[in-house]
Amino acid sequence: MGGRLNVRPEVRAVVDATAPVFTDLGATVDDGCIDLSDAAEVFFTQRAYDFAAWYGPLLRARPEKFRDFVAWNIELGLSLTVADLLSKDAARVRLASAVNDFFADHDVLVTTTSQVLPFDASLDYPRVINGVLQENYLDWMAAATLISPTGCPSVSVSAGFSRPSVDPAAPELPVGIQIIGAPGRDVEVLQVAHAVEAATGYGRRHPEL
């Protein structure tokens, strides 16, 4: 999925370098991916609906308490039509079929956990990735949001650390991979994650405080 997302090159380099870890553990690695063409519609519509149901009355009563991008998500839900919800349900059925098709001949799907390196906590979210403006506060985390509506179990493990490029003094920052399995295969996903962690040892590295 990394090839289909707007991923920072420093992140992509670390994620791509994990392929030999899996082959050394006995896996056969290919570039296959779940057809996630319906995932964005399912995620955004369901999230907007849920936000409207949970927070709609609060937004009306205390709009000053909500940040702009959260208010946007609630308003998006309040504007949904029956046609929008029916379309989302049809997309969910197609997505479930795509999940079944992929896991008919794959044990796990491995993707990047995040499209960007860890960023300053004072930022709401990364506004630009590789020169591309993010349309909303969710786009930068599409690596996760496109998996969420599949209903698949997923775990994130450390894949390594970024290598300073322009500034040699820049810190090495952690990069993660998602290991995703078929619905109901939670134990198998944890077993693969444990094997990867044991093989790399990255999870035992802690920042110097």
DSSP 64-99: GGS-HHHHHHHHHHHT--HHHHHHHHHHHHHHHHHH
Same domain, 163 and 196: yes
What gap in Å lies between CA 29 and CA 110, rounded to an integer?
Answer: 10
Instruction: Quick: pLDDT tens for 38-50.
Output: 999 999 999 999 9
Do 118 and 183 belong to one domain?
Answer: yes
Percent of the chain with pLDDT over 90: 89
Residues 118 and 91 in one domain: no
Per the CB < 8 A criterion, the answer to whether 154 and 4 are in contact is: no
Whether 144 and 199 map to the same domain: the answer is yes
Provide mean pLDDT across the span 181-185. Answer: 98
pLDDT of residue 3: 43
Into how many domains does the chain fold?
2
Task: Identify whether 66 is part of a domain.
Answer: yes
- Do 74 and 166 reside in the same domain of the chain? no
The residue-averaged pLDDT of 117-136 equals 93
> Per-residue confidence at 207, pLDDT binned at 50, 70, 90?
confident
- Give the span between the Cα atoms of 107 and 188, in whole angstroms: 9
Do residue 25 and residue 41 come from a single domain? Answer: no
Average the pLDDT over each of 22-31, 45-54, 85-94, 166-175 and give the range with the smallest value: 166-175
2 lies in some domain: yes
Shared domain for 43 and 27, answered yes or no, is: no
Q: What is the mean pLDDT of the chain?
A: 94
Considering 49, 83, 104, which residue would you say is the last residue of a domain?
Answer: 104
pLDDT of residue 21: 97
pLDDT at 166: 57
* 94 and 114 together in one domain: no
209 domain-assigned: no
Tokens 């077993």 locate to 191
Give the pLDDT score at 4: 73
Provide the residue range defining the domain that includes 85.
35-104
